[in-house]
Amino acid sequence: MANKVDATMIMALGRNFAIGTLYNHIEDVVIPRMRLWDPSDVSRVATVKSESKETVKVHSVVTEDSSEDEDDVDDDEHGSLLSDLGMDDHSAMSLMAGLLRPTSAGAWQYAIDRTDFKMGSFDQGPKVAVHCRSSSRKVSVDPTRLEMICRPERLIKSQATHVVVAVTYGLEAFCIFSPQLSPNPDNSTNEDGTAVAKTLDYAHYFANGLLNGRNRLEMDQDEDGRLCLIPLDLQCILYSDLIGLKSGQS
């Protein structure tokens, strides 16, 4: 079981982790219908630490067409991107290997869609990802203050390798910007390079406005005179933990 020596940090990715949840780190699965400790005992001894932290980072993402011989290179680049975005290496490997497919991953559905891009579910091409992250509180326990309620023989059969001793609560979102590239291959190189550079510049401008709250983002006008937050020559896809979140949840 996890302790101060072999403790590890992983992302929830839509999975319902709670203190006392049993987990098989090797197969990357949550053990269902089992808890190591009584939830009421956990509530009694848990330490709740409020923490308000907000970060906004911009990542340039380039997905190029590749042959089958370059699949290993693509996997390495994708794994590197997931690490840059803040995903732990274990979850990234499980995601790329197909072991981890949460039904509701919120903001990190973006990573799942990128993993599946070879099957046509994710549009290829240059993109810029604006990654927004905020944390509100951390709940943790000292395992030595809790008594196990799970029978030893059942615990062994579960093949659990770790138990959750702390959970950090927060929200994340990815704003994925992509330029409208030239359909004419003869004129695409310079135009596409300019479009990608413009997308990156706007993403930094957008991120700064979100982070400090002082910059007002200028509005574009469409053909009907309506104001648009996103420039008309950019496309934007939003992946957010807030999508589908019920009132009162965090």
- pLDDT (average), residues 48-70: 74
Q: How far, in whole angstroms, is CA 134 from its chain's centroid?
A: 12
- How does pLDDT run across 101-147, given as a tens digit for each residue? 766 668 988 888 877 665 444 566 778 999 999 999 999 999 999 99
Per-residue pLDDT at 3:
46
Q: What is the mean pLDDT of the chain?
A: 79
Q: Are 237 and 203 in contact, with CB atoms under 8 Å apart?
A: no
pLDDT for 13 beyond 70: yes
Q: How confident is the model at residue 7 (pLDDT cuts 50, 70, 90)?
A: confident
- How does pLDDT run across 231-249, given as a tens digit for each residue? 777 888 999 988 755 544 4
- How does pLDDT run across 160-208, given as a tens digit for each residue? 999 999 999 999 999 999 887 666 555 556 666 788 888 888 888 888 8
Per-residue pLDDT at 229:
62
Per-residue pLDDT at 115:
74
Terminal alpha carbon distance of the chain: 28
Q: 3-state class of 141 per DSSP?
A: coil
Per-residue pLDDT at 85:
83
176 φ/ψ angles, rounded to the nearest 5 degrees: -100, 110
Domain ranges of the chain: 21-240
181 against 52, higher pLDDT: 52
Of 17-26, 37-46, 62-71, 184-193, least confident by mean pLDDT is 62-71
Which residues face 129 on adjacent strands? 59, 176
pLDDT for 220 beyond 70: no
- pLDDT (average), residues 59-79: 59
DSSP 53-120: EEEEEEEEE------GGGHHHHHHHHHHHHHHTT--HHHHHHHHHTS---S--GGGHHHHHHHTGGGT
Go through 153-175 and write b for each residue having 16 or more CB atoms within 10 A of its CB, e for each that does not. eebeebebbbbbbbbbebbbbbb
Per-residue pLDDT at 164:
97
pLDDT over 70 percentage in the chain: 70
Q: Quote the tokens at residue 1.
A: 């079981």
